[in-house]
Amino acid sequence: MLGKKVLFLLGLAAFQANSAELSSEHKTWVEELSTKYDVSEEKLTDAIGQAKFDENVLTKIQTPWEKKPWYKYAPIFITESRINKGVEYWKQYEDTFAKAEAEYGVPAQVIVAIMGVETFYGKYKGNISVLDSLYTLGFNYPSRGKFFRQEFAQYIKLSEQQGWKLTETQGSYAGAMGLGQFISSSYTHYGVDFSGDGKVDMINDPVDAIGSIANYFSKHKWTTDASVAYPVKADSEKVAALLSSSLKIKHTWADLTAAGVELKESDDRVPSITIEDSSPAKLLKLQQLDSDEYWVYLDNFYTITRYNHSPLYAMAVFQLSEKIKQAKHAQ
């Protein structure tokens, strides 16, 4: 066996080699990350030395499912298997979902749907090295490099706190982990020990994942017992000026009705509703195969987009949640 002194010298040599390999720009980034996140430059450099560039990660982030039209995106997530498994999962952890709803005010079906969309209730948690994905995006993807470098540093810090081996944790191409697919910063800021066992484990413990998802929504201003979205009728020419790519809600229901927007009298995806004229509301157009479909979304829909900044994602979560709730209540 090698002595401690030899191991130390080998480690020091590896660190020096890694440092030498870093470009001046990378060294500057390491210095900035070290200062901002209180992670030593040695640990950051060592992590970079262990990380591998993954071209597949770059391909995936540039071709996300959210770029698909709604009629192709929705069938990926709103399926009978996801609905049925969602009901089963809800029943399996009924007490935990009820506790999360009571403590955080977030409906159980929304938490279930998030887990259904993200990982099919834990079945697909990702098979890409989190270290590799964050390194690839942080140091080789300029358009979003700053964000992913920050996640890279926070992953190193989180791994140390959790006792993870840097190279062993797997997740999505964007470095999201566990049953709810939390990125490192979200894991740190919103993860809760909902099981009460003294640690936050969203990778393997469904109880912690359920509580953490509920906490995330609560911290992002979910309004208890408020509506999410409703299908409407609209004239495409009259409402064109009301549509925008921004997710923020800048109109009221009165603005929309002035342009001829009307609630559909009935729709099996959502309950009946009366919206106050002063209610913040945003018009959303979804592309169907042969036509456009219009919805109005409210503040809670915007909260769902804080989890994933895509209206298609939020709509899939919402519609799946309603179908899971209906299926469960029908049993």
| Three-class DSSP labels, 214-261 | HHHHHHCCCCCCCCCEEEEECCHHHHHHHCCCCCCCCEEHHHHHHCCC
Element (H, E) at 287: strand 280-287
Length of the chain: 331
Confirm if 189 and 215 have CB atoms less than 8 A apart. no
Give 48-103 as a 3 state SS string: HHHCCCCHHHHHHHHCCHHHCCHHHHHHHHCCHHHHHHHHHHHHHCHHHHHHHHHH
DSSP assignment string, 131-192 = HHHHHHHHHH-GGGHHHHHHHHHHHHHHHHHHT--TTT-EE-TT--BTTTTB-HHHHHHH--
The secondary structure of the chain in percent helix, strand, coil, rounded to multiples of 5, reads 55, 10, 35
Distance CA 273, CA 68 (A): 30
Q: Enumerate residues 6+ apart whose C-beta is below 8 A from 71.
A: 287, 288, 289
Give dist(CA 222, CA 105) in Å, integer. Answer: 8
Q: Are 78 and 70 in contact (CB under 8 A)?
A: no
From 179, 181, 159, select the one nearest 169 (Cα to Cα).
159
Q: Whole-angstrom Cα distance, residue 86 to residue 98?
A: 15
Is 118 one of the catalytic residues? yes
> How many Cα neighbours within 13 Å face the side chain of 267?
17
Find the catalytic residue in 118, 168, 265, 276: 118
Active site residues per annotation = 118
